[in-house]
Structures are given as structure tokens and as C-alpha cells.
Amino acid sequence: MRPEDVLPSSFRDPAGFVFRSEGVIHRAILAPGRTHYDRLMTSGLYGELVAADLLVPHEEVPPPGGGWDDLYKVIRPEEIPFVSYPYEWSFSQLQDAALATLEIEKRALRAGMSLVDGSAFNIQFIRGRPVLIDTLSLREATEGEPWTAYGQFCRHFLAPLALMSLQDVRLNRLLQVHLDGIPLDLASALLPMRSKRRASLLLHIHFHARSQKRYEGRSARVTKGRVNRRGLLGLIDSLESGARRLRWRAAGTEWADYYADTNYAPEGLEAKRRAVEGFMARVRPRTVWDLGANVGDFSRVAAAAGAFTIAFDADPACVERNYLRVRAERETNVVPLLMDLTAPSPRLGWENAERQSLLDRGPADAVLALALIHHLAIGNNVPLEGAARFFAKAGRSLLIEFVPKSDSQVKRLLVTREDIFSRYTREHFERAFGERFEILERIPLAGSERALYVMERKAAVPD
Amino acid sequence: MSGTRPLRLAWLIVLGCGLLTETAAAYIDPGTGSYVLQVAIAFLVGLAFSIKVFWKKIAAFLQKLFARKTSNGGDAS
């Protein structure tokens, strides 16, 4: 018997499962996982991986409840502050997750173990670094056995990285459709011819796809082929150099040079910064969602005030730059993620329950929505009531900037289209948001016609 | 078209290695194509890895040798 609150994303593994007890995530290790877990803990691999920030640390705890069949142990891993998915990562985030996976496999091989999965969903960004969260995916290795995760690694990491690097960075969104990684025949068909000049991509994507096609639907009888240690190390090395060589430069997209390109006066930015600081001091949120974060300048103001901050943006170049900054400055409490608010991540997978939607992962204690409302209301025709409804679901406190029609940025949005937005006014904005929020303060931004609003979600809000 | 000839040759080599694997014994699940390819290329990538490690060792040795020589030279002047 298993407890009621097994996570819906955890049903494939016979060696264990993940469940929630009193709001805290636990992992049950069942009898089939026993030798693997013991080997992990006694071989020194666990300590080594945790010390290198490659594996989530855990502690063993007594089973809450009990009476489950074939239970061996229950562990409580360190809490992951925000679960993100590979289709929400920038190029370098996916690349770092790939390299972390391969580094774990290399270290595991030395300890006589191996990763049984090569799934990008097993990696989460904790304290700014990609970390393996599936402790039970490390298994005792059988001498001579090929790497079972090879195909999955290529689908989850190498194929999307190659497509993003050599074809178009937006192709990472294929991971949202293909939850077990991009089919290699699809990747092979989409990649440009020049990808075949790279040995690693030729072997691990193009030939891999052909080999899969050749054996598809055939109940081929194959010998249990042996891959010796040198072969395994060679395979990992080849995948690693293939993944490492792929590059994507974050430039030339619409928003990455936003602050350099706008008519913001420096004092306007400074006033906004002070307003964010004031908001943080007033609300003292533990979690902040910065929606439309650009490269994360204001996310860092929130993070500096102690909040764990998710910096969402729809532009891959902004998210990439933001992540590179997190990495370079070893920031631990900012996670940049790719998110198109007009089509945020939905619930996906089996029973629509394996992967959570954006709003499932909230609400945040506080939301920042700076220079965003005009893109939703005018760029995407969302009525202000609809915007208010969304923000009320996303967070409890809200710092939102109203950008009036007279603003040059809004004028720019209206240049090529008819102005059908007669209700896009300050008065209507205040009325629409006032239905769901208490408006606590209005802060005019000097040097512009914009204003910031500090709001608190009402206890009972209409649907 | 001439560019595709080496590719075809490379594929035939990999395929040939795969056929050696595909002779008899155990039945393997839908990941067969990945499995066969991995076994087929293991020798190749393993060899490449060994050569890489070997070269790195030589490079490190030469670097050390060179560094020692320059530091000796520095002492002499």
C-alpha cells in the first residue's frame, strides 16, 4: 500500500516513490531500491556529490504512517524552493544541467554506480546550480552493461541544445510537447546539414536516429552487447564535448537591450529601485515572482532584501543573460526562467498531473509587475479585469506599474494598430484591480507619467 | 553530393558494428536502436577517449619540461 499523497509525477520507478507528508516532500525507498541506496551511501559517492553541489542532500527519517509493503527507508531531501522545467530554461541553463548530469555519471562510474535516467526533469536549480534531485536514479552498475540512460540523455539534452544552438533558440519549446525529450528523428530532420560535420552530433543524433528507425517495430534479437569501462568513459566524454561545444549568444532579440534602448531617465530607474526596496521592506516576502523581469535588475533588488526570487521573462536572450549573471556572480536566490505570460506553462503529462502549471506553483508572497501591464492589456488585448484576476492568483502582494497611453512605449505599441482600448485608463485600472486588491499606495514616477501601485490581495476575492 | 559520401561510409561502418551485435540471444525493448548504436560506437569513442587522455598526458609532460627549462634559464641569467 502507498500513502494517498504520492506525487503524481512519481509512478514509474519500482525502487521508490515521492510523497508529501505534512507539506514536506519525502522519498520512500522500497525493497528493490535497497542495494542501490546502500551502495550510494556507503561508497562515498553520496558525500562526494553533495559536497560538489551535484546531488540534493537528504536525511533519513522514520516513516510517517507506515504499513507500506516492502518499504526499506524514508528519506527527506532538502526542500526545493521552486520547481522549474527544462522548457522554462535558457540555453545555458539546459547546457549546465546536461554537463552536471554527465559529471554525476562520471563520478558514479568511479564508484561502481550509474545513472539509470538521463532526464532533464531530474535536475533542479538550487542555490543557482543544477542539482540532481532523484537520489534513486543512481544504481549499482553491472560490469559491461551499456549506459541505460544514453537514449534519454540525447533526447532531453543533446538534441534540444543542438537545435537551440544551430537552428533556433526557440526550439527548446519542443520539450514542452515531447515530455520524454525531443525524438531524435525529429531533431535530425530539423538540424542543419552542418551539424553532421560535428562527430558528436553525427553519432549521437543523426546516426542514433537512423539506428532507432532501423530497429523500430522489429523484435530484433540482439546479443547482450558489452561496453567496457573505456567505452563508457569515451561515450560520456564524447557527449560532454558535444554538449560543451554548442554555443548560443544572447543578442539581437527584442528585449535584451531594453534598458539601453528605452527613454528611461536614470532617475526614473532609481526611483523604481527605491520603490521596490520600500515594497520589500513593507511586505517582507519570502518568495517573489518578478514577472517580465527582463535581465533581472529589479529581481536582484528583491533578492538583496532576502526574498527567493523567480525572474520570469518571455525573451530567451533576457533569461540567458540573467542566468549568466547568476552563474558569474554565484547568486543563490535568483532563478531566471523563460515564461510567456500570455501562454504560461500548463499542466502536462499523465492525467495532466506530472508537470505543474505556473499558477499551480504559486502563489508567491509577492509579485513584481514592472513595465508589464501595457504589454498584456494592449499588446495582447487582455482586459484589465483579466489581468487583475491573473495577478490575484499569482501572488498575495503586488507592486505593479501602470503605464498610461500617453507614454511613449504605449504609443509605440499603438503605432501599427487601431486604438480599441478606450478603457485603458488610470481610473479603470484602479477600479479593475480594486475589485481584487486593496490599493495601499500610489507612487508616481518622477520624470514620466507612470506610477507604481502597492497592492494587497483582498481576503475574499471574486472568481 | 560529394559531402554525403563520407557520411554514408561512416554510417555503414557503424551499421556493420551494429550487425555484429544483432546476432542472437536476448530480446531487448523499444530502446533497441539506442542500445545497438551505443554498443557499436563504444569501441570508437573509447579509442578516441584513450587517445585524448594520452595526448593530454604528453602535453602536460612537455609543459612541465618546458616550464622547468625556462625557470632554469631564468636562474642562469
**In this complex, do A234 and B18 lie within 8 Å of one another by their Cβ atoms?**
no
Tens digit of each residue's pLDDT (9 = 90 or more) over A113-138: 999 999 999 999 999 999 999 999 99
Ordered by start, the domain boundaries in chain B are 4-76
For residue B21, the chain A residues in CB contact (below 8 A) are 222-223, 225
pTM across the whole model: 0.92
Range from A17-31, A274-288, A444-458 that averages highest in pLDDT:
A274-288
Q: Between vectors from CA A455 to CA A292 and to CA A84, what angle results, nearest 5°? A: 35
For residue A217, the distance in angstroms to the closest alpha carbon of chain B comes to: 8
Please say if the pLDDT value at position A264 is more than 70.
no
**In this complex, do A220 and B28 lie within 8 Å of one another by their Cβ atoms?**
yes
Note the residue count of chain A: 463
Q: Residue A196 has what DSSP assignment?
A: G
**pLDDT at res. A462:** 63
Q: Among 2.40.30.10, 3.40.50.150, 3.90.230.10, 3.30.300.10, what is the CATH number of A258-457?
A: 3.40.50.150
For residue B56, the chain A residues in CB contact (below 8 A) are none
ipTM above 0.90, yes or no: no
Query: CA A166, CA A305: separation in Å to the nearest integer?
Result: 39
**In this complex, do B11 and A146 lie within 8 Å of one another by their Cβ atoms?**
no
For residue B1, the distance in angstroms to the closest alpha carbon of chain A comes to: 12
Q: In this complex, which of B37, B47, B48 lies closest to A208 when CB atoms are compared?
A: B37
For residue A228, the chain B residues in CB contact (below 8 A) are 42, 46
Residue from A263, A298, A272 nearest A446 by CA? A272
For residue B48, the chain A residues in CB contact (below 8 A) are 234, 237-238
**In this complex, do A213 and B50 lie within 8 Å of one another by their Cβ atoms?**
no
Beta-carbon contacts of A135 under 8 Å, excluding residues fewer than 6 positions away, are A27, A37, A40, A55, A56, A58, A75, A77
Q: Which residue of A has its CA nearest to B13?
A: A207
**In this complex, do B34 and A235 lie within 8 Å of one another by their Cβ atoms?**
no
Q: Which of A91-100, A312-321, A431-440, B29-38 has the lowest mean pLDDT?
A: B29-38
Residue from A131, A103, A138, A97 nearest A117 by CA? A138
Contact A211, B36 (CB under 8 A): yes
For residue B7, the chain A residues in CB contact (below 8 A) are 196, 202
B16 burial class (0-12, 13-18, 19+ CB within 10 angstroms)? exposed
**Model confidence at A12, in pLDDT bands (50, 70, 90)?**
confident
**pLDDT at res. B25:** 40
Q: Which residue has the higher pLDDT, B76 or A149?
A: A149
Contact A401, A371 (CB under 8 A): yes
**In this complex, do B50 and A203 lie within 8 Å of one another by their Cβ atoms?**
no
Please say if the pLDDT value at position B27 is more than 70.
no
Range from A19-33, A256-270, A289-303 that averages highest in pLDDT:
A289-303
* Gyration radius of chain A over CA positions: 24
**pLDDT at res. B6:** 83
**Model confidence at A251, in pLDDT bands (50, 70, 90)?**
confident
Query: CA A357, CA A336: separation in Å to the nearest integer?
Result: 17
For residue A230, the chain B residues in CB contact (below 8 A) are 46, 49-50
Query: CA A126, CA A130: separation in Å to the nearest integer?
Result: 6
* Percentage with pLDDT > 90 across chain A: 80
**pLDDT at res. A416:** 86
Q: Residue B29 has what DSSP assignment?
A: -
How many inter-chain contacts (A to B, CB under 8 Å) are there? 123
**In this complex, do B26 and A228 lie within 8 Å of one another by their Cβ atoms?**
no
Q: By a Cβ cutoff of 8 Å, what residues of chain B touch chain A? A: 3, 7, 10-11, 14-15, 18, 21-28, 31-50, 52
For residue B37, the chain A residues in CB contact (below 8 A) are 203, 207-208, 211-212
Query: CA A433, CA A299: separation in Å to the nearest integer?
Result: 23
Please say if the pLDDT value at position A5 is more than 80.
no
Tens digit of each residue's pLDDT (9 = 90 or more) over B59-76: 998 988 888 777 665 444
Q: In this complex, which of B3, B26, B46 lies closest to A234 when CB atoms are compared?
A: B46
Range from A13-17, A210-214, A400-404 that averages highest in pLDDT:
A400-404
Please say if the pLDDT value at position B18 is more than 80.
no
**In this complex, do A210 and B35 lie within 8 Å of one another by their Cβ atoms?**
no
Q: Rounded to 5 degrees, what are φ and ψ at B15? A: -60, -40
Query: CA A38, CA A313: separation in Å to the nearest integer?
Result: 42
**pLDDT at res. A446:** 81
Q: In this complex, which of B22, B23, B49 lies closest to A234 when CB atoms are compared?
A: B49
SS3 A440: strand
For residue B8, the chain A residues in CB contact (below 8 A) are none
- Angle (deg, nearest 10), helices A91-110 and A159-166: 150
Ordered by start, the domain boundaries in chain A are 16-77, 86-245, 258-457
Q: In this complex, which of A151, A221, A238 lies closest to B34 when CB atoms are compared?
A: A151
Query: CA B40, CA A215: separation in Å to the nearest integer?
Result: 14
First-residue to last-residue Cα distance in chain B? 61
Query: CA A17, CA A68: separation in Å to the nearest integer?
Result: 12
**Model confidence at B24, in pLDDT bands (50, 70, 90)?**
very low
